[in-house]
């Protein structure tokens, strides 16, 4: 058996879907939006197209602030770099948290910055820091910082 080492490049385009497409287009503008269920009044952030509680279709958009509360977090220590690629946008160690924006019922997973890991606390107030040049993707949010 012979093994041939090399790289395989497979170009592809990802389609976000209706809810995520609108969310990312608003994020590119520097705005945060969630989507509300008219039946159960749950506000999903990030948005989705179907309510997880009552299975209703969702289409009621709500603007949300760029501030919220840290629900939980972890400190990523492991470097997932392979000989060909790193799947991590930051070099470890870094803090990854779930942030519940004010007015939302669910949390958004993202990076926490401008704070030492020893100083992170569940319940701390955070504010989004956006990139200057945005592309309409989740990394348009650079990180959330303590208020």
For the chain, the structural domain boundaries read: 18-146
Residue 83: the pLDDT is: 67
Interval 10-37: pLDDT, tens: 776 767 788 899 999 999 999 999 999 9
| Alpha carbon of residue 145 to chain centroid | 14
**β pairing state of 43-44 and 60-64:** unpaired
Q: What is the pLDDT of residues 52-68, one digit of tens each?
A: 999 999 999 999 999 99
Between 7 and 58, where is the model more confident?
58
53: left (phi over 0), alpha (psi -120 to 50) or beta: alpha
Strands 94-101 and 67-76: antiparallel
In percent, the amount of the chain with pLDDT more than 90 equals: 76
Smallest CA-to-CA distance from 126 within 143, 109, 104 is with 143
- Whether residue 132 has pLDDT greater than 70: yes
Do residues 41 and 32 make contact, with C-beta atoms less than 8 angstroms apart?
Answer: no
Residues 6 or more apart from 97 whose CB is under 8 A from it?
Answer: 70, 71, 72, 73, 74, 109, 110, 111, 112, 120, 126, 144
Hey, which residues does 130 pair with through a beta bridge? 141
The pair of structure tokens assigned to 9 is 């490049």
Q: What average pLDDT is seen over the chain? A: 92
Exposed, middle or buried by CB within 10 Å (0-12, 13-18, 19+), for 75? middle
pLDDT value of position 4: 73
pLDDT tens digit sequence for 68-96: 999 999 999 988 777 666 677 888 899 99
Look at 84-88, 129-133, 143-147 and tell me which has the smallest mean pLDDT. 84-88
């Amino acid at each position: 058996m012979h093994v041939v080492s090399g790289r395989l490049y497979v170009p592809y385009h990802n389609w976000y879907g209706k809810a995520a497409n609108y969310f990312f287009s608003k994020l590119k503008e520097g705005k945060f939006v969630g989507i509300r269920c008219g039946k159960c009044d749950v506000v999903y952030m990030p948005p989705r197209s179907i309510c997880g509680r009552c299975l209703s279709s969702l289409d009621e958009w709500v603007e949300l602030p760029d501030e919220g509360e840290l629900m939980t977090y972890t400190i990523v220590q492991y470097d997932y770099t392979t000989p060909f690629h790193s799947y991590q946008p930051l070099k470890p160690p870094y803090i990854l948290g779930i942030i519940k924006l004010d007015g939302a019922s669910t949390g958004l997973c993202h990076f926490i910055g401008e704070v030492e890991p020893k100083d992170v606390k569940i319940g701390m107030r955070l504010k989004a820091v956006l990139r200057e040049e945005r592309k309409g993707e989740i990394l348009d949010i650079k990180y959330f910082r303590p208020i």
